[in-house]
Amino acid sequence: MSPGSSRSPSQTSANVIRRDVRIPPLGLEGILALPPDVCSLVIFVHGSGSSRLSPRNTLVADSLNARGIGTLLFDLLTAAEDNDRAKVFDISLLARRLIDVLRWVDGEPALRSLPLGLFGASTGAAAALVAASRLGDRIKAIVSRGGRPDLADAALPDVRAPVLLLVGGSDRTVIALNEDAAIRLKCPKLLHIVPGATHLFEEPGTLEQVTMLAGDWFQEYLGRTHGANA
């Protein structure tokens, strides 16, 4: 497989094949990781001020790879756009970019048959929900980490995929926003509060809880893969 204009693949200790990819039409940069016998793919949608290199999302992605789930982390904006604050917070634009990425995935022979999940953080969670509302049953599961699902606004009732909302117990404002969004979601959903965590889940052990909860959610709704107890 040679998705996009990728560099030479590298192999991790867990035999996960990683490729740097460029996703048309804008040449958005991404990192595609495929474990052996991959059975599903989770696409990461980062929040404002972050990128495909987010250490928190990378930790979650590595955990999913250990369960046999493929991952794609990508930049929502080009390098020239990163300093435009209006674009950084333009949920509609970010959702359209995500849909372009999903169309690219569906154009790749090695990826198009994989069940798809979305992992959104902060404003990226809103973009993931908006994109999912427009793609019907193509998206099978969504996880939001410290997300702003309220920014998906009118799209919330149209989301079909099961949604897991993960919020830090000390992130009071975002808890309230997630509670309100959960009421508006008509799909299967669960709001889980991680005790003691702030917005970025920087407290010891809190991000590890996120990786476990997200992995379990994706395995439940994307289909069982090997390493279920990873």
Q: Tell me if 52 sits within 8 A of 73, measured CB to CB.
A: yes
Residue pointed to by tokens 């250990």? 66
Residue 79 confidence (pLDDT): 78
Give the residue carrying structure tokens 């992995």: 215
Q: Report d(CA 142, CA 162) in Å as an integer.
A: 6
CB 100 within 8 A of CB 75: no
Average of pLDDT values for 29-50? 89
Please report the pLDDT score of residue 41 as a whole number.
97
Six-digit token string for 200: 């970025």
Q: Whole-model pTM?
A: 0.89
The whole-chain average pLDDT of the chain stands at 88
**Overall average pLDDT of the 165-187 stretch:** 96
Q: Mean pLDDT across the stretch 156-183?
A: 96
Q: What mean pLDDT comes out for the span 207-220?
A: 95
Give me Rg for the CA atoms of the chain: 16
**pLDDT digit string (tens) for 195-208?**
999 888 888 889 89
| Sequence-distant (≥ 6) Cβ neighbours of residue 189 within 8 angstroms | 162, 163, 164, 165, 182
Predicted pLDDT of residue 46 = 85
**Amino acid 48: pLDDT:** 67
CATH 3.40.50.1820 corresponds to the domain 10-222: yes
The side-by-side arrangement of strands in the sheet containing 116-121 is 10-11, 17-23, 28-34, 70-74, 41-45, 116-121, 139-145, 163-168, 189-194
**Quick check: 105 and 43 in contact, CB under 8 A?**
yes
